[in-house]
Amino acid sequence: MPEERLSMRKVRELLRLKLDLHLSDRAVARSLGIGKGTVQRYASQARAMGVGWPLPEGLSDEDLEKQIFPERTEGKGIEVPDWQEVHRELKRKKKTKVTLRLLWEEYRQRSPEGYGYSRFCDLYREWEGTIDVEMRQEYLAGEKLLVDYAGQTMSVVNRETGEVREAQVFVGTSGASNYIYTEATWTQTLPDWIASHIRTFEFMGGVHEILIPDQLKSGITKACWYDPETNRTYADMAEHYGIAVIPARPASPRDKAKVEQAVEMVEWQCLAPLRHRTFFSLGELNQALRERSKVVNERPFQKLPGCRRSVFEELERSALRPLPVKAYEYAEYKKAKVNVDYHVEVDRHYYSVPYQLVRETVWIRKTAHVVEILHRNQRVASHLRSFVKGGYTTISEHMPKSHREYKEWSPDRLVHWAEKNGPQTAGLVKKILATRVHPVQGYRACLGIMRLGKTYGWGRLEDACSRALRTGCQTYGSVESILKKGLDKLVPTAGALPECVIDHEHVRGAGYYRDGSEESNG
């Protein structure tokens, strides 16, 4: 098995959780869905190379990788085995006959300059001695916030139509005090999931160190954009609040025992007493839930002094991290490839990126007001969001120089410039712009026609435009052909049929067939 190699986005999150929040290797591994040995390897390498947190502003993924693993770019150094994977493979020994020597041989095939067999065995034994026999589940003040949805829903009736809609019930509980927050939302989709978290933080008056959802995919739906490995919106929110997300492990009831108890408490003491009431709006239901949860939080413990609220106020509130000045603005992520016109599509509107990124894969981050484009974890473009379907939002600096020249023009400016040469030139420019679905599509032809005046003279250009208007040949190629053949100097004959000059490499003309006929007769 190849070593577990992380994307630089995961490396950044690993460093934040390890160096800033000082989480254990196991906690970081669970948060990122990777092996504990991988966490140890990356964290040790970062410390050895003097990489600390926070990272320098503007540090690119390439530079960060060079700092942590210079051998990857310089072709030097010894590859460190993924001990977590080695340990996992050795557990299959009885069935598959996997031995430490076999794993070493596979390692040397990947890394011929790697450790010798004896050193490989010694390093593995050292790593094996660091494995905890069992992780103890502890709840320290301000450390863990657990969240989940209740299995029970609440009915809300539309007063006008009588339609009944089921609302979902979100539950959050603080680990050390069992302090409960609950609210109703229409769905369990990502926008409602994130919004419920934000309101939970505000209700608690601060942020815990660790957030434990029952299952991380609770907030992911088909309607939302997300990375198959990690929900980027959820990670984005966690980074905004400086909290680590560690989802409960499957089939590990101890990881989520607190929130399961809280859900049961909410269903028993909040939802059940409201079963005979009819609610006509989500706001009305949430007001009732606030009143009921207040009763639950202030009910005295049976065997301990105080209540949930008093324990939270005494022990936990001061231990929470302060809320950021600005609440998290909900953002969705989408991966896209830059089109050949250096634009990316968001909800059928097109936003520009630097033209050098054509055909590159980028991440799009959209909020209610802003669209940002990220490339290799660096923001390369930012636009105010537009909801005009089929429209374009373009920044001049993103355009190649040749395209930028056209961007500086407008239909009125082109017509005004043409009027200086004469009414026929202006009339032809107006015709060209009017026949295009988008006027900008005719800029190139109009500018080309105006440049013909520098070559053939402005007077001849006016006459050529007049002939083009009479014959209905309103293209740059027709005007150029008129000037080349001197047709602008001919006086139109009364009653003569209009002659449309078509100049194209695939149009042979009468002369071609006349010459061919003479050759065949000869």
Residue 72: predicted pLDDT: 54
Residue 290: predicted pLDDT: 94
Burial of 239 (0-12, 13-18, 19+ CB in 10 A): middle
Residue 503: predicted pLDDT: 46
Q: What is the pLDDT along the chain (522 residues), one digit of tens a residue?
A: 345 567 778 888 888 998 888 898 899 888 888 888 888 888 888 887 788 888 888 787 777 877 877 655 444 456 788 876 776 566 554 445 667 888 888 888 888 877 778 778 877 877 666 554 333 345 677 888 999 998 889 999 998 888 999 999 999 999 888 899 999 999 988 889 999 999 999 999 999 998 888 765 654 444 344 443 457 888 889 989 999 888 876 656 566 677 788 888 888 889 988 888 999 999 999 999 999 999 999 998 775 667 889 888 887 888 899 999 999 988 888 889 988 778 888 888 889 899 888 888 999 999 888 999 999 888 999 999 888 887 788 888 887 776 665 666 678 888 888 888 899 999 999 888 888 765 666 777 888 888 898 889 999 999 999 999 988 888 888 999 999 988 888 876 655 544 554 444 444 444 433 444 333 333
Closest CA to 84 of 148, 18, 40, 22: 40
| pTM given for the model | 0.58
CB 183 within 8 A of CB 202: no
Give the max Cα distance, the chain.
Answer: 121
CB 251 within 8 A of CB 214: no
Q: Which residue has the tokens 């002939």?
A: 467
What number of other Cβ atoms are within 10 A of residue 488's Cβ?
A: 21
Q: Residues 205, 198, 319, CA angle at the centre, nearest 5°?
A: 30
**Domains delineated in the chain:** 8-128 (no CATH), 144-319 (3.30.420.10), 332-404 (no CATH), 409-510 (no CATH)
Tokens (6 digits) for 366: 């959209």
- Taking the C-alpha atoms of residue 5 and residue 111, their distance in angstroms, rounded to an integer, is 14
Burial of 138 (0-12, 13-18, 19+ CB in 10 A): exposed
Residue 155: predicted pLDDT: 93
- Taking the C-alpha atoms of residue 436 and residue 269, their distance in angstroms, rounded to an integer, is 68
Closest CA to 426 of 436, 404, 411: 411
- Taking the C-alpha atoms of residue 188 and residue 122, their distance in angstroms, rounded to an integer, is 49
Residue 515: predicted pLDDT: 43
User: Phi and psi for 204 in degrees, rounded to 5?
Assistant: -70, -20
pLDDT tens, residue by residue, 139-184: 677 888 999 998 889 999 998 888 999 999 999 999 888 899 999 9
Give the SS3 label for residue 56: coil
Tokens (6 digits) for 425: 């030139």
- Beta-ladder partners of 244: 210
- Beta-ladder partners of 213: 147
Residue 95: predicted pLDDT: 43
H-run or E-run covering 285? helix 282-298
